[in-house]
Chain A
Amino acid sequence: SQQGEEDPQALSIQEGENATMNCSYKTSINNLQWYRQNSGRGLVHLILIRSNEREKHSGRLRVTLDTSKKSSSLLITASRAADTASYFCATDARGDSSYKLIFGSGTRLLVRP
């Protein structure tokens, strides 16, 4: 079973537009991560935000975290065709199993040139 759920499941935008993906999770966490997966490839780590942080930036990526709502969002600004991929949020769980990352079902992003 998966801890997180991404919304929307699929997103199609024009190059240059911003893309926003949301993630909701169920249990208390230490941190939340976002990963990207190109078709037929492994996942690549994008950004990590800790439970005591509310916002984090990395290049064209902006991540927010609202622990009271158990939700996070990933914003990709000025999208490019090369951003086409699936994006997953992943959470750990506080306690003995904190090493275990639980992934959501992903948002499939298509950026049209």
Chain B
Amino acid sequence: GAGVSQSPRYKVAKRGQDVALRCDPISGHVSLFWYQQALGQGPEFLTYFQNEAQLDKSGLPSDRFFAERPEGSVSTLKIQRTQQEDSAVYLCASSSLNEKLFFGSGTQLSVL
């Protein structure tokens, strides 16, 4: 596609519910990143994929967070047993040369 696509755009979850956030990167981009952005803050790194390999998951806040990219294109960020502190915008970005990142519009997650 023309850009990075994320879905859903908004997600409201009840505390304890599992959620799955999808990212379609730019076709051919090897690198894919997930970031978490709290209100009024800058994006915080969560995890990084090179093709299908998850090379860095050091930013994932807890073992309730899980990301995958099984075929090296679409990626899914899954959050199990959501908590109120998980409420944030989740941004996906892709890159071909690990320099300039192209971001999606994000998924705004609200946990009630």
Q: List residues of chain A with CB under 8 Å of any chain B CB.
A: 2, 4, 31, 33, 35, 40-45, 48, 88, 97-106
Contact = CB atoms under 8 A, between A and B. Distances in A.
A42 B45 contact: no
Interface residues of B, number: 26
A35 B50 CA distance: 22
A51 to B, nearest CB: 13
A45 B4 CA distance: 13
B100 A45 contact: yes
Identify the interface centre among A35, A100, A105: most chain B CB within 10 Å of its CB: A100
Contact of B41 (A99, A102, A106): A106
Given A97-B56, A98-B98, A42 B44 contact: no
Given A97-B56, A101-B45, A103-B42, A42 B100 contact: no
Interface stretch (B62-70, B77-85, B102-110): B102-110
A100 B44 CA distance: 10
B43 interface: yes
